[in-house]
Amino acid sequence: MELLGCLIWLLAGVGVFIVGMNFMGEALEKSAGSGMKKFLGKISNNRFSGVGVGAGVTAIIQSSSATSVMVIGLVNAGVMTLMQATPIIMGANIGTTITGVLVALKNDIFNMIMYLLAFAGVMMGFAKNEKVKLFGSLFGGLGLIFVGLEVMSSEQAFGNQLVKDMFTDIFAKIDFPLLMILVGVIFTALIQSSSAATGVVITMVGTGVLELDLALFIVLGANIGTCVTALLASMGAQANAKRVALIHFTFNTIGTVLFATLIWIFKDQAVSLLTSFFPKDDPMSLQMRVSVFHVIFNVTTTIILLPFVKQLVEFSKKVIRDKKSAEETRTLKYVDDRLLAVPTVALGQVKKEMDYMLGLVEENIGYAFNALETRSKVNGEKVVENEAIIDFTNGALTRFLIKLSSTVEGSDEVIIGSYFHVLNDLERIGDHAENFYEIGAEMADKELVFSEAAVDEIKGMCGVVSQMFEISKDAFENLNGERLNELTELEDKVDEMKKTLTARHFARLAEGNCSVDHSPYFSSTVVGLERVADHLVNVGYSIVNPVGSEKENA
């Protein structure tokens, strides 16, 4: 009964430790969102820069798995190449070692400070200010990590002789390097965090439950186990995204095989070397031996394999081949569901996708206006293709934003609300552009020609709408509100033109200067242009009035 109680206490400690890590990681991710964007903005073909970006991002969010998933999403969205992604994955392994170092620093004084930090974090969570609550999550998470560690190492858990005897007996039965590596793989795959797995191993060594030589093999296995998250994230993704996960797995496996072989052969020398770094037998020194090994493993593996990035990429391409027999499913250009793991980055990619969509709408408007003025059927296939992408982007991005909205708060919620409205407006402008093109094409087929006066009127109205498009696009893409008053004035002008042109059209009909056959085409064009102007105002003003009222969509 006593043993069962101790095991429950131990599981509680592990649970608190993992919850603390999650709280701290999420808080760091939110508070450093703009910083991660800058890191990602520095991505280049420079391998050393890539390693630095990977290490930096992982040090910020305290999860190499999250970094790997984010990179898979970026590669899947076509934002990053395999050559750029591989060094980042290597750097992520280095960044994740910080958790182990932090855990190894545990001592009585440090623990007291962390407990107070946990209490302060909980109290800050009751504040109304979002920034204070965010820092509360950060402090509370950091404190809970050490609360969990203390629970694990207490007399009711690893410190209990019954628990020590049980684990000593278990490890004595599986005292074989490959089995210990397997333990590390399975444990890490189950809890989805190599940092947490390493933290538990470090605590076990510090309490004397686990010998250092066995702990080294478990740590090696944990580095393979952490690849499971990335492998799962790549399922259903494009070939390149699957290759990133394979490169991550291959990198860690090669490093594990290399180090496992060396330690297996030179076990006594390896233990002696780590002991010489920290000769004392107090818990902190014992723990630092494991932590330092974790750092040495990841840094050394990166140094050894960094020159072979190209070979790793080529290997992944040979294992995972492109599908040549079937056309790939249409996907978003910059956005992928795997980016939901990092909401701040995902929101930036959504903006890129919408800028791209806006460009397609602008292109179709140009083709449509040309078709109206010249009754030409040129670029018809391009209009249809662009419209298909616009419709797909609208639907796919709307679904993505619905998922993303549950992960953000504060100002980001307002931005997402704005994006929902803008997506609707862009999709409607795209529909009108397609209608304009069809009007021009149908008139060409029927050999119908507007009167010279009607052509001039439509050209003039198209010109004003084109000016509005330029202002609206600049406002949304560059967050530039300097010309919004001009946008409103032009919209008023379009409203007046609609009334004037409609009146003139009926006057021409009455005078016999215009055929009744032309009437539906002229009226549809004028009404459509006026509605496009309304949507353009909504798009432009979305940067200053994100969730304000819109004109009636039609």
User: pLDDT for 404-416, tens place per residue?
Assistant: 988 887 778 888 9
**pLDDT greater than 90 at residue 97:** no
Cβ neighbour number for residue 383 with a 10 Å cutoff: 24
User: Is the distance from CB of 461 to CB of 529 less than 8 angstroms?
Assistant: yes
**pLDDT greater than 90 at residue 20:** no
Tell me how far apart the alpha carbons of residues 358 and 425 are, in angstroms, rounded to a whole number: 10
Determine the Cα angle at 447 with ends 443 and 453, to 5°. Answer: 70
Most confident range (mean pLDDT) of 201-210, 318-327, 441-450 is 201-210
Per-residue pLDDT, 260: 94
Domain boundaries, the chain: 2-154+166-319, 342-541
Distance from CA of residue 192 to its chain's centroid?
A: 18
**pLDDT greater than 60 at residue 435:** yes
Mean pLDDT value across the chain:
82
Q: Where is pLDDT greater, at 431 or 76? A: 431
Per-residue pLDDT, 233: 66
**pLDDT greater than 50 at residue 327:** no
pLDDT digits 0-9 by tens, 477-512: 888 888 899 999 999 999 999 999 888 878 877 777
Q: Quick one: what percent of the chain has pLDDT higher than 90? A: 26
One-letter identity of residue 57 = V
Place of tokens 């009127």: 457
Per-residue pLDDT, 380: 82
Per-residue pLDDT, 444: 81
**pLDDT band with cut points at 50, 70 and 90 for residue 363:** very high
Residue 370's contacts (CB-CB under 8 Å, 6 or more residues apart) are 376, 378, 379, 440
**pLDDT band with cut points at 50, 70 and 90 for residue 280:** confident
**pLDDT greater than 60 at residue 38:** no
Judged by average pLDDT, the poorest of 114-118, 185-189, 292-296 is: 114-118
Place of tokens 């494991």: 290
Class of domain 342-541: mainly alpha
Place of tokens 């180090």: 259
pLDDT digits 0-9 by tens, 113-158: 878 888 888 888 888 787 788 788 878 887 887 787 778 877 777 7
Per-residue pLDDT, 36: 53
One-letter identity of residue 79 = V
- Helices and strands (H and E) in the chain: how many: 23, 0
If you average pLDDT over residues 429-447, what whole number do you get?
86
